[in-house]
Amino acid sequence: MKDELRNYLDITPEVAEAVEKGRPVVALESTILSHGMPYPQNLEFAKRVEEVIRERGAVPCTMAVINGRMKAGLSEEDLVLLCKNEGGKIGKLSRRDLPIALATGATGATTVTTTMILAHYAGVRFFATGGIGGVHRGAETSFDISADLQELAHTPVCVICAGAKMILDIGLTLEYLETMGVPVVGMGCEQFPSFYCRQSGFGVDYVAEKPSDVARLAQVKWGINLGGGILVGNPVPEEYALDFDYMSGVIDEALAAAKAAGVKGKDTTPFLLAKVVELTGGDSLATNIELALNNARCAAEIAVAYAKEDCQ
């Protein structure tokens, strides 16, 4: 870690030792805890997802900003604070918010973007999340494009997800990633998954048959000094996947509700995801939990393969 970062970043001893010795570490975001699930279900999930990573032989590293300090690895007290989110005072921190939070001593949850940043600062190469942000529908007039895509273009972290959220324009999201030079990998799939569903109708750049295939790709990409990240689409297990046509209708209904309510900007995604949970009778939340756990398993397996010398 660079000396100047020590003024702003705390890394738990376990994570610091693992990074120093080249052991596998997997980063986790905290927005899913503070804004994605109710308490105490979110706290139970936080503990379970870390257990899943340990079961696969890697060290979990949940990210957040606590009292103006970037945290790579959280204590039990930190997790409870984020999960309770009393009064809804814990915000979602993107790249533009990070220096403000540090300067003002704020507490906030990390999005995909800021989790990638903190992971890079801490020396962590792999990150498991639910789904990435992307190009929103109607972006040709709203210019609403997630900062996740720019971060993937510039920050050398491999992000394992269940695809882009269905509320987005997945085709344009993949076009943007192509323009930014981000490899999009399908973990055993030829179609990029669409979060709740295993298919999207859009292909990937490369199909990885096993975790070591992704590890090898990462070694080569970063070994030849090509900056930026790698995006791995890991489909939700079949038993938890929702029907594509059904969910397309649900998403259309949620989008119509957002338009009617005048929801815009950064409030759009949380509104839509909450509406989808309502319209599916909670089925989408159950799927969200299972795909996030599945991504954690996959990320841990990739990180373990990467830590081996030959990646065979």
Span 3-56, pLDDT tens digits? 678 899 999 999 999 999 999 999 999 999 998 888 999 999 999 999 999 999
- What is the pTM (predicted TM-score) of this model? 0.94
pLDDT-based confidence at residue 310 (cuts at 50, 70, 90): low
Residue type, 273: L
Q: Please give the angle made by the CA atoms of 82, 116 and 289, to the nearest 5 degrees.
A: 50
Question: How many Å apart are CA 63 and CA 30, to the nearest integer?
Answer: 6
Tell me what the mean pLDDT of segment 226-236 comes to: 97
Element spanning 183, H or E:
none
Nearest CA to 137 out of 235, 256, 283 is that of 256
Residues classed as catalytic:
29, 165
Side-chain-side CA neighbours of residue 223 (13 Å)? 7
pLDDT-based confidence at residue 225 (cuts at 50, 70, 90): very high
The CATH superfamily label for domain 3-307 reads Indigoidine synthase domain (3.40.1790.10)
pLDDT at 311 over 70: no
pLDDT at 193 over 90: yes
Render pLDDT for 77-134 as a digit per residue (tens, 0 to 9): 999 999 999 988 999 999 999 999 999 999 999 999 999 999 999 999 999 999 999 9
Residue 217 is classified by DSSP as: H
pLDDT-based confidence at residue 272 (cuts at 50, 70, 90): confident
CB pairs under 8 A, 24+ apart, for 38-45?
A: 39/83, 39/84, 39/85, 40/83, 42/83, 43/79, 43/80, 43/83, 45/289, 45/292
